[in-house]
Amino acid sequence: MAVSSYRYQSRVGDGELRDRLVQLAREKPRFGYRRLQILLRRSGEVANHKRVYRVYRDAGLCLRRKKRKHCTRVGAPLRQHTAANQEWALDFVHDVLSAGRTIRVLSVVDAFTRECLALEVDTSFAGRRVTRVLDEIVVRRGKPQSIRCDNGPELTSRHFLAWGLDQQIELVHIQPGKPTQNAQVESFHGKLREECLRVSWFRNLFDARRKIADWRKDY
């Protein structure tokens, strides 16, 4: 680096810009430097965003952002079951079509009988789609006492949690990174992958639904 560059000091005075930023920050105390720069432009003042940030930082106007608090899950050990419908295990497994598009398979398994209650196939699942599948199972089989699942966005959404409260079903979320706490459905997924997904070639979504439905009946 050249000595002239190292020792360079800006000849442009920052006093007016500093005073203006402080004034705007007092009017909008939760605005960051980018939003304050927009206010400067609206008032006809033009300033480079790097200069605005430098003056903004030197004036001590930087905001303290609150660190996002993540939901912590307490360990949920497997329970001993003595009858059907005491607990259902729910999870997703992934595969791809011949065109390379990813599909998801929603699996619902009875933890006591190990019966596969549903294998729903689609390209994506929202919380409402999951509860619609569960409602169909409840109509023909009755409600479970609890449902064990992971912490995916569709399984921790407000809609899914509200559905559990309305149905008076306990939602047991396992700890992140602990798939053994949902061992029943993980064991089932091993059979599903070995006997169906790895030996099948899905031309499209409808072909995948048909072949997976046929395998479920055979299982």
Domain boundaries, the chain: 13-58, 87-218
Task: Single out the residue of 108, 98, 93 nearest to residue 207, CA to CA.
Answer: 98
Q: 87-218 has which fold?
A: Nucleotidyltransferase; domain 5 (3.30.420)
For CA atoms 49, 51, 54, 59, give the dihedral sign.
negative
> What pLDDT is attached to residue 204?
95
Task: Convert the pLDDT of each residue in 130-140 to its tens digit.
Answer: 999 999 999 99
> What pLDDT is attached to residue 11?
65
> What pLDDT is attached to residue 214?
95
Residue segments in the chain with a per-residue pLDDT below the cut of 50: none
Angstrom CA distances, 154 to 47, 102, 178, 217, stand at 44, 17, 18, 27
pTM of full prediction above 0.85 = no
> What pLDDT is attached to residue 63?
81
Tokens of 182: 């949902």
Q: Say if CB 205 and CB 121 are below 8 A apart.
A: yes
